[in-house]
Amino acid sequence: MSKLDRRQFLTCAAAISGAALIPGTLRANDDGRLDLLIRGGKVLDPGQKLQGRYDIGIRWGRIVRVEPTIPLETAKHVIDAGGNLVVPGLVDLHTHVYPLGSALGLPADELTPYTATTTYVSAGDAGANNFGAFRHHVMGATRSRMFAFIHISRIGLAGFPVGEELNIDYLDVDAAAKCLAENSDVALGIKVRISRNVVGDNGLEPLRRALVAAEAAGTGARVMCHIGDAPGNLSTLLDMLRPGDILTHSYSGAGNNVVQNGKLLPAALAAKQRGVIIDVGHGGGSFDYTIAEPAIDQGLMPDTISSDIHALSGNSPGMPYLPWVMSKFLNLGLSIEQVVALATSAPAGVINRVDKLGTLQTGAPADVSVLELIEEPVEFVDTRNNRRSGTRWLKPLHTVRAGVAFGRPYPMPFNYP
Ligand SMILES: [Zn+2]
């Protein structure tokens, strides 16, 4: 056996890598079939204004074909959508998905059967002190796509139920800005909670610090501001939000609401008109029909529908799972196209990190949700025990993330090839 010296080895290696560049001399062991075909569904993709009977072909984690009929034999695996709605993978802008790290976090992947959500945005579960662990141990170990708002408080929600902004010394602008700048690929901005029981005597100072940190990061970061029994004049708070910032729990009825004495605050409408994003963030205590209905009537439509799902809210009667929250808005008079847009293309646009996220265009990430629109009498309850009856609701059926379905059949290696 001849022994290769270093020079011979390098020559040989160069020959091999050179050969790979000559078409036809080295092939991937791949027959070109689709990895997954989602057939027979009613596609509803508001991001490209596409609606109708289409099959979706997926290969190597991307959507590659959207056609009226794609032959079965061109695919390795098939999901029969059976006439149900096929929509872009749902995007939830307000979730709590830091299990064991924040006091109310849930594991995103385990929520999938109830949420049909493929993209979760952590709304301040972690602050500067514990964001590194969230990024490496949670984001890195989760199939669902994840982004985050970094809490202005160093401890994020680790101290829950003790308010993380009661001690103003936790609200370190430089630490938050540095953490944001270092993680700008996944960190969208700064989260702050403005409720009396969270801020104590600190008033709006946490929001001021959040705004300074977002600016200081230099990444075009947004501030996501939670309201619900905020101290002081709510209009003062609303006036502080910049275009692109996010108001979450917009329809909260916890006190100091956007609707006061039956009238929408002019500052709330002005905020929407200058580009502040009106987010739902239903949660366990933050969605009140008696606020949402007059607010929407008077012009404060939501820009994004989010759930605020967490370990406490998930067990509350309002059941803030994203398709259920979408169903509430469907029965408030929004169209199916609107509610799907507000939970796909709209929040994906706010995230603005992944090309074509929130759509089913060819080339888009193969994140897809299949939902059944069930037409039957249904009753909903908000977080303040107000009930509304409706006529239809959305039920999750299948969730596909990067071309691989959650649940059975199991992904590689168990279903090889
Ligand atoms: Zn929340």
**Cα(349)–Cα(401) distance, integer angstroms:** 18
Task: Give 289-349 as a DSSP string.
Answer: HHHHHHHHHTT---SB----B-TTGGGSTT---HHHHHHHHHTTT--HHHHHHHTTHHHHH
CA distance 259 to 202: 24
Report residues of the chain scoring pLDDT below 70: 1-28, 408-417
Q: Calculate how far, in angstroms, residue 397's C-alpha sits from the geometric centre of ligand 1.
A: 26
Report the distance separating Cα 347 and Cα 344, nearest Å: 6
- Work out how many domains the chain is built from and give that number: 1
CA dihedral 91, 348, 139, 123 (to 10 degrees): -80
Are 193 and 180 in contact by the 8 Å Cβ rule? The answer is no
**How many whole angstroms from 359 Cα to the centroid of ligand 1?**
25
Query: Do 390 and 331 contact (CB within 8 A), yes or no?
Result: yes
- The pLDDT value given to residue 253: 97
Q: What is the CATH number of the domain that holds 98?
A: 3.20.20.140
User: Contact 296/332 with Cβ under 8 angstroms?
Assistant: yes
Identify whether the C-beta of residue 358 lies closer than 8 Å to the C-beta of residue 88: yes
pLDDT at res. 19: 43
Residue 165 counted as domain residue: yes
- Residue closest to 325 by CA, chosen among 72, 34, 94, 59: 94
411 inside domain: no
Within a domain: 71: no
**Residue-wise DSSP of 178-240:** HHHHHTTTTEEEEEEEE-HHHHGGGTTHHHHHHHHHHHHHTS--EEEEEESS-SS-HHHHHHH
Domain for residue 206, yes or no? yes
Distance from Cα 98 to the centre of ligand 1, integer Å: 12
- Cα 378 to middle of ligand 1, angstroms: 26
Q: How far is the CA of 384 from the centre of ligand 1 (A)?
A: 17
List pLDDT tens digits, range 311-349: 999 999 999 999 999 999 999 999 999 999 999 999 999
- For ligand 1, the distance from its centroid to the CA atom of residue 272, given in whole angstroms, is 20
Q: Is residue 168 part of a domain?
A: yes
**d(CA 389, ligand 1 centre) in Å:** 26
Phi, psi of 249 (to 5 degrees): 65, 40
Residue 392: inside a domain, yes or no?
no
Cα of 117 from ligand 1 centre, angstroms: 16
pLDDT in tens, 20-55: 456 566 666 788 899 999 999 999 999 999 999 999
Helices 173-182 and 205-217, packing angle to 10 deg: 40
> How far apart are the CA of 331 and the centre of ligand 1, in A?
23
Distance from C-alpha of 346 to C-alpha of 339, rounded to nearest angstrom = 10
Q: How many residues does the chain have?
A: 417
Task: Compute, in angstroms, the gap from residue 283 CA to the centroid of ligand 1.
Answer: 7
Give the pLDDT confidence score for residue 285 in this predicted structure: 97
Q: How remote is the CA of residue 191 from the centroid of ligand 1, in Å? A: 9
The confidence score (pLDDT) of residue 221 equals 98
Tell me which residue range forms the domain holding 128: 89-351
User: Quick check: is 20 in a domain?
Assistant: no
**Which pTM value belongs to this model?**
0.92
Write the Ramachandran bin of 23: left for phi over 0, alpha for psi from -120 to 50, otherwise beta.
beta
Residue 78 within a domain: no
Q: What is the pLDDT of residues 96-117, one digit of tens each?
A: 999 999 889 999 999 999 999 9
